[in-house]
Amino acid sequence: GQQVMQIPQYQHVQEGEDFTTYCNSSTTLSNIQWYKQRPGGHPVFLIQLVKSGEVKKQKRLTFQFGEAKKNSSLHITATQTTDVGTYFCAGAGSYQLTFGKGTKLSVIP
Amino acid sequence: GAGVSQSPSNKVTEKGKDVELRCDPISGHTALYWYRQSLGQGLEFLIYFQGNSAPDKSGLPSDRFSAERTGGSVSTLTIQRTQQEDSAVYLCASSPGTSGGWETQYFGPGTRLLVL
């Protein structure tokens, strides 16, 4: 079945440093979604990418969908303590989403 | 309207007892999902309901786990003869169900289950 791998599993950064998490699928995706889960909270939808090579920005967050629609990345510029949490990608295959295991981001003030 | 709600928010039970977890999806959402998240881990898919179709049970870890959805709305996840390894947060999500199973999912706050 479809598998979605996400790296790194953990990332510790100093406040102000950049952060990137990568997502790779074993199969071509219809779309990819990104979710953020704050500590003690539940996953909250951030964005959806549909087109090959698509790039979307939300303030300091930049999301990219690969040309082959099998990989994606989330880049955060100049991290802040409010960015702390686990970021999940979720790949849409034939009929359902498959979530990656997430990247847990810690920001050291 | 209101988001996805789940009850109870916390449940402590003894090994061997049965538990029922409830999920109220967003009104009008026909797709409903259950996930399990162990401490510090990712989301483990359990089961997916779409309208009146037969549910996708491919993620249920054992026959001790079952779920039903009455009237296409509220869902109950039942775990029989609970084991300590069942301790986790059980998350429910719903989506409109109009664009296939890969729509944006809206998560509830989860039920934190602890099996002693």
pLDDT tens readout for residues B73-99? 999 999 999 999 999 999 999 999 887
Q: Which of B5, B34, B43 to mutate to test the interface with A (most CBs of A within 10 A)?
A: B43
Closest chain A residue by Cα to residue B44: A99
- Count CB pairs under 8 A between chains A and B: 51
Give the pLDDT of residue A45: 94
The β-bridge relationship of strands A31-37 and A85-92 is antiparallel
What contacts A7, CB < 8 A, 6 or more positions away? A21, A22, A24, A103
How many angstroms away from the CA of A44 is the closest CA of chain B?
Answer: 7
pLDDT band for position B70 (cuts 50, 70, 90): confident
Q: Which of B23, B104, B106 to mutate to test the interface with A (most CBs of A within 10 A)?
A: B104
pLDDT band for position A20 (cuts 50, 70, 90): very high
- Calculate the CA A81 to chain-centre distance: 18
Sign of CA dihedral B23, B26, B29, B34: negative
Give the pLDDT of residue B42: 84
- Other Cβ atoms less than 10 A from the Cβ of B105: the count is 26
With contacts defined as CB-CB under 8 Å, which chain B residues touch A99? 35, 42-43, 45
Q: What is the mean pLDDT of chain A?
A: 94
Give the pLDDT of residue B65: 97
CA distance readout (Å), B84 to A62, B59, B62 = 40, 19, 14
Closest chain B residue by Cα to residue A31: B102
Record: contact A45-B104, CB cut-off 8 A: yes
What span, in angstroms and rounded, lies between the C-alpha atoms of B61 and B47?
10
What span, in angstroms and rounded, lies between the C-alpha atoms of B41 and B34?
15
- Calculate the CA A63 to chain-centre distance: 8
What contacts B102, CB < 8 A, 6 or more positions away? A30, A31, A33, A92, A93, A95, A96, A97
With contacts defined as CB-CB under 8 Å, which chain B residues touch A102? 42-43
A26/B contact by beta carbon, under 8 A: no
Record: contact B104-A43, CB cut-off 8 A: no
Read off the pLDDT of residues B15-48 as tens digits, 9 standing for 90 and up.
999 999 999 999 999 999 999 999 878 889 899 9
How many angstroms away from the CA of A95 is the closest CA of chain B?
Answer: 5
Give the pLDDT of residue B29: 92
pLDDT band for position A98 (cuts 50, 70, 90): confident
pLDDT band for position A86 (cuts 50, 70, 90): very high
* Range B40-69 average pLDDT: 90
